[in-house]
């Protein structure tokens, strides 16, 4: 029987996710039916996206609260490589 401590699995997952996000140059979440809460959750991962050049959030339901979360992350210095941000077809 394989037994792994939760903390070990969680650490490995976080490390793997951080590496994947750091290597991403484009993230496309088009028509994902995201709302403000989803955007706020996603915004917390954006500081790991050190090479992100394009982010598309087209066709979601992201409003002022979600955009505020995105703006706050950018103000803190995240997404310095971002060149294209698509927010069309959101409220």
Question: Mind listing the pLDDT tens digit for each residue in 39-80?
Answer: 999 999 999 999 999 999 999 999 999 999 999 999 999 999
70 Cβ contact partners less than 8 Å away, ≥ 6 residues apart: 39, 43, 46
Range of lowest pLDDT (5-9, 11-15, 63-67)? 5-9
- Over 50: is that where the pLDDT of 1 sits? no
Is the model more confident about 17 or about 90?
90
Is the model more confident about 70 or about 8?
70
The beta strands (E) that lie in the chain are given as 26-28, 54-56, 84-86
| Model confidence, pTM | 0.81
> 86 has which bridge partners?
56
Tokens of 29: 């979440």
| Alpha carbon distance 78, 91 (integer Å) | 24
């Amino acid at each position: 029987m394989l037994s792994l401590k939760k903390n070990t699995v969680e650490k490995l997952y976080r490390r793997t996710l951080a590496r994947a996000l750091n290597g991403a140059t484009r993230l496309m979440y088009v028509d994902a039916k995201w709302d403000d809460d989803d955007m706020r959750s996603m915004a917390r991962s954006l500081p790991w996206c050190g090479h992100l050049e394009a982010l598309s959030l087209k066709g979601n339901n992201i409003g002022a609260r979600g955009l505020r979360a995105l703006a706050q992350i950018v103000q803190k210095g995240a997404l310095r490589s971002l060149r294209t941000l698509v927010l069309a077809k959101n409220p």
